[in-house]
Amino acid sequence: MKTGTILVIDLFAGPGGLGEGLSSVIDASGSHPFKIGMSVEKEPSAHKTLTTRAFYRRIKDSKLGLASYNDYLLGNLTRAQLFGLFPYEAEKALQETLYTPHSLGDDNSTIHKRITELVQNHGNKPKVVIGGPPCQAYSLAGRSRNAGIKDYQAEKDDRNFLYKEYLKVLSVAQPDVFIMENVRGILSARIDGKIIFPRILQDLRAPGRITKITTPKYKIFSLVVDVDNPESPIYEDFTDYLIKSENYGIPQARHRVILLGVRADIQGTPSTLKPFKYQSTVEQVLADLPKLRSGFSKRKDITKDWESTVSKNATTVKRLLKKQFKQAKSLDLKPFKKLTRSATQPVEQSCQMPEHLIEWYRGKEPPCVLNHETRGHMESDLLRYAYSAAYTQLNDGTPPKARDFPDDLAPAHENWKSGSHADRFRTQAANKCSTTVTSHISKDGHYFIHYDPKQCRSLTVREAARLQTFPDNYLFEGNRTQQYVQVGNAVPPYLAQQIGKVVMELLDQ
Ligand SMILES: C[S@@+](CC[C@H](N)C(=O)[O-])C[C@H]1O[C@@H](n2cnc3c(N)ncnc32)[C@H](O)[C@@H]1O
């Protein structure tokens, strides 16, 4: 296939994880068959990230382009100066992200008009629509937030029907294939007391019934379970649509529903993803990043004070853990000296990464580590972090539950030992894949504690991005909180690349 043969329309694009994966697919002849024509995103910082990446893709293969991008990363050029040096590429990148954030449901005319243009210009070559309409009713967090709203009625909340915007785009673009991603909760969400997933499947199979526009029908495939009758794929269990990312080379247990829609008249059966033999671990993908210290959030932040607090905590943690773990005596918890809170130096050259991820993360290596800056924590939490990380290390990668914390370390939460807080200070164990990186990481770092008790901190945006398999030169724009949200929302690009290969092979047949 020639480069750019498959047009991609990315909806609800977030920072562009799905699009990144597809864009990175290379076919046997060395071409990049997927070309993103449009990314729609309403949140300004994610939109900025998408535009920067769209620009990067256009200049990365030129020596001057890459050098200038690296100058931007180093702070030697502003974004306006960078774009000014490559006005054509900048204009194309901005066109790709529609110049400004756009909201499906509000701004449909601009979006649909642009899709129509793109589709017409693309002729009869293949087209793919990607993206997952978010929905309050699907996510467990959204459901519990809504439960707190007086007189909340899911059936009256427009945010629960964004997938209808997706159907409209299917009618306008009439793609050969679509890839729709969503949280696991979509399988069990109810509106008006009824599980809505069967209805969503039915609507996706025949979008025209809802949009009242003549639209092809679609077969909906799972990417992980083989089907008996590919002409009319039906799966026994809805969880057949669930992809467990950790089985496909991602160092994170991220379980997401991914539907592969294929236009009904397309012959051929998409293959399923090939599980990896081994799971990748947190330490394998984080160990080469510069070590950092956390900060104090509610007092003056001085390195020496941090070192003495961490050193004092080390003594307390050892004393507490000795009661349960014999090996606690020999734990090395002495704080590193003169750590900083952010690092710009490049990563260490030696690394423990699994073979399949080394080039993936570190190809076209940036001149400095991006988005790698720690947060401040309350002094009392630093002790809890040290305890949780050391406990996890001694307990072969299983972090302590609330009941495993000594009373002296208990935070002043009501119900601290009850279900909702049981997992409150969770270390991401070095020897396992991480738990799901969610946008909650933007709120506090308690569920995402670094496995190294000597750094005593939660994960940085870059570390979260590594767990999500974003390449190291992927810059997240916006402030730190916005960056965390973007990372937590994304589809792991390395998983998306594998899905892209399935789609490429299908369309190539
Ligand atoms: C789960 S994220 C998508 C992640 C993306 N597929 C990726 O791989 O990186 C959903 C995104 O949809 C955006 N969004 C929500 N409602 C939207 C709307 N009506 N129009 C456009 N974007 C919307 C959110 O801001 C969020 O960034």
C-alpha torsion 211→213→217→223, nearest 10: -50
The pairs formed by 160-164 with CB atoms below 8 angstroms and a separation of 24 or more are 160/135, 160/136, 160/191, 161/135, 162/12, 162/104, 162/105, 162/133, 162/134, 162/135, 163/133, 163/135, 163/200, 163/203, 164/203, 164/210
- Which numbered atom of ligand 1 lies nearest the CA of 19? 8
Q: Which domain range does residue 133 map to?
A: 6-279+490-508
User: Is 358 inside a domain boundary?
Assistant: no
Which residues, 6+ apart, have CB-to-CB distance to 163 below 8 Å? 133, 135, 200, 203
User: Is 466 inside a domain boundary?
Assistant: no
Q: What is the tally of structural domains in the chain?
A: 2
Residue 468 C-alpha to ligand 1 middle, in angstroms? Answer: 16
- Which numbered atom of ligand 1 lies nearest the CA of 493? 8
Are 216 and 317 found together in one domain? Answer: no
> Which residue lies with its CA nearest to atom 1 of ligand 1?
489
Are 70 and 205 found together in one domain? Answer: yes
Token pair in block for residue 465: 């991005």
Residue 108 C-alpha to ligand 1 middle, in angstroms? Answer: 15
Residue 228 C-alpha to ligand 1 middle, in angstroms? Answer: 34
pLDDT tens by residue, 369-402:
999 999 999 998 999 999 999 999 999 999 999 8
User: Is 31 inside a domain boundary?
Assistant: yes
DSSP letter at 449? B
User: Is 479 inside a domain boundary?
Assistant: no
Residue 251: which of 445, 421, 380, 433 has the closest Cα?
433
User: Is 473 inside a domain boundary?
Assistant: no
Q: Measuring CA to CA, how many Å separate 37 from each of 25, 63, 255, 346, 394?
A: 16, 24, 28, 33, 50
Are 243 and 288 found together in one domain? Answer: no
What does the pLDDT read at residue 419?
64
Residues with pLDDT less than 70, the chain? 136-160, 414, 417-421
Are 315 and 234 found together in one domain? Answer: no
Are 232 and 287 found together in one domain? Answer: no
How many residues are there in the chain? Answer: 509
> Which residue lies with its CA nearest to atom 14 of ligand 1?
12
Are 210 and 345 found together in one domain? Answer: no
Residue 42 C-alpha to ligand 1 middle, in angstroms? Answer: 7
Residue 180: which of 486, 491, 492, 497 has the closest Cα?
491
User: Is 429 inside a domain boundary?
Assistant: yes
Give, to the nearest 10 degrees, the angle between helix 480-489 and helix 44-59: 70
Q: Which of 39, 41, 474 to mutate to test the pocket of ligand 1 (most atoms within 8 A of CB)?
A: 41
Pairwise CA distance, residues 482 & 142, whole Å: 18
What does the pLDDT read at residue 146?
58
User: Is 136 inside a domain boundary?
Assistant: yes
What does the pLDDT read at residue 335?
87
Are 257 and 382 found together in one domain? Answer: no
Pairwise CA distance, residues 399 & 425, whole Å: 8
Tell me the sheet residues that pair with 221: 260
Are 273 and 295 found together in one domain? Answer: no
Residue 134 C-alpha to ligand 1 middle, in angstroms? Answer: 6
What does the pLDDT read at residue 138?
64
Q: Do the Cβ atoms of 176 and 128 come closer than 8 Å?
A: yes
Q: Considering the chain, what is the average pLDDT of its residues?
A: 92
Which CATH number is 30's domain given? 3.40.50.150
What does the pLDDT read at residue 141?
58
- Which numbered atom of ligand 1 lies nearest the CA of 490? 9
Strand ranges inside 272-423, DSSP E:
295-296, 376-377
- Which numbered atom of ligand 1 lies nearest the CA of 46? 27
Are 239 and 91 found together in one domain? Answer: yes
Are 219 and 307 found together in one domain? Answer: no
Are 98 and 77 found together in one domain? Answer: yes
Beta-carbon neighbour count of residue 232 at 10 Å? 10
Tell me which residues have their CB closer than 6 angstroms to ligand 1: 12-18, 40-43, 46, 103-105, 131-132, 134, 162, 181, 489-491
What does the pLDDT read at residue 142?
61
Residue in this structure with the two tokens 């997992």, named with its chain if needed: 423
pLDDT tens by residue, 23-68:
999 999 999 999 999 999 999 999 999 999 999 999 999 999 999 9
Are 135 and 198 found together in one domain? Answer: yes
User: Is 364 inside a domain boundary?
Assistant: no
